[in-house]
Amino acid sequence: MEKENIYVTRSSMPPYEEYIEAIKPLWESHWLTNMGKYHQELEEKLKEYLDVPNLSLMVNGHMALELAIQVMDFPEGSEVITTPFTFISTTHAIVRNRLKPVFCDVKLSNGTIDETKIEDLITENTVAIVPVHVYGNVCNVEEIQRIADKYNLKVIYDAAHAFGVKYKGRGVGNYGDASVFSFHATKVFNTIEGGAVAFSDSNLYGRLYNLKNFGIRGEELVVSVGANAKMNEFCAIMGLCNLKYLNYAIQERKSRCGIYQKELEEVKEIQFFKDNTNATKNHAYFPILVDRDVRKNRDKLYDLLKENNIFTRKYFYPLTSDQACFKNKYKRVDLTNARTLSEKVLVLPVYEGLSRNTIENMCVIIKNYFE
């Protein structure tokens, strides 16, 4: 049993002295929010790192997605095709925009939306597709775009898991009409809390600005109805500091994922998602798929690890479509693959600082369980 609790992730943080030194100027300027110097600097640096033409910083990933959908001006009650195999935020963002989610099944190979099943779900009320790059696994962006072009639909990617991922040499945020990133404390890159919208149409920058800042355009001028979704300067500085160490953090995570892969690849009851050779990985998560055996299944393994102070995640279980707030409210669709994955997936701890010895101990517990 581990002496200390091991959680599925641990927030990346820069050296304490570096962050304290970086925030000192705030005590001189007293400029803590409202798109200050550091907000603007981080926005520019993230555009460069993510290799995207346009980017708007937000207070968190959920508001980034909610406002990315809102800025498209869809008619109330319109349908949006999306995946149920995701964090609840994805579905909330659609519903809070007074739109109807239409759940599409996913692929067993990587957990992303099954593009071959999208067209059958399109009706005259469909306005958009909101796919998710699950665990950083990139969706079939070419086929999704082909479908969107054919039916004149918008594509808004939930890229919360895909920070820094490149597909065919391009930043993943270049695909679709918009891509949304989360900088929550649990993500591979964090600003404590934060998020961003990357988008192709530069005209959206001003509209997103209005939405995240009450529509204020002058001391006495409010041009539209908006929310308050601005990132503050403390979070922006945390992002600037963390960005310096991001490549190191990703490499550290990669090495730990490699240990898991090597230790568990011979366990016949465990499978892994298929890698996309055209995409890079950010190693934000290490999911495994556990056979649905009555005697030795995912839930029992989860409980065993928990007894040993190892806190994994059934990520994502249950499906968002099966949550109490959405169950039986929307169009019924066959979600066999999504339910299969939700009952098999277990995300193991991975973060820089997690010792090799701890990972090997976890793998021993897992292997002994199945033996």
Beta-strand (E) ranges in 21-99? Answer: 55-58, 79-82
CA distance 174 to 200: 7
Backbone torsions φ then ψ of 136, nearest 5 degrees = 85, 0
Cβ(121)–Cβ(81) under 8 Å?
yes
The per-residue pLDDT for 3 is 79
Cβ(240)–Cβ(38) under 8 Å?
yes
Helix axes 16-23, 233-244, angle to 10 degrees: 140
Please name each of the domains of the chain with its CATH number: 16-244 (3.40.640.10), 245-370 (3.90.1150.10)
The per-residue pLDDT for 331 is 85
Indicate whether this model's pTM tops 0.85. yes
Cβ(166)–Cβ(149) under 8 Å?
no
Q: Which residue's structure tokens are 């529509």?
A: 215
CA distance 2 to 299: 20
DSSP-assigned states of every residue in 231-252 = PPHHHHHHHHHHHHTHHHHHHH
Given a cut of 70, the residues of the chain with pLDDT beneath it are: none
CA distance 315 to 152: 33
CA distance 181 to 159: 5
The per-residue pLDDT for 222 is 97
Q: What does the pLDDT look like over 221-231, one tens digit per residue? A: 999 999 999 99
Q: What rounded mean pLDDT belongs to the chain?
A: 97
Tokens representing 295 are 């005697």
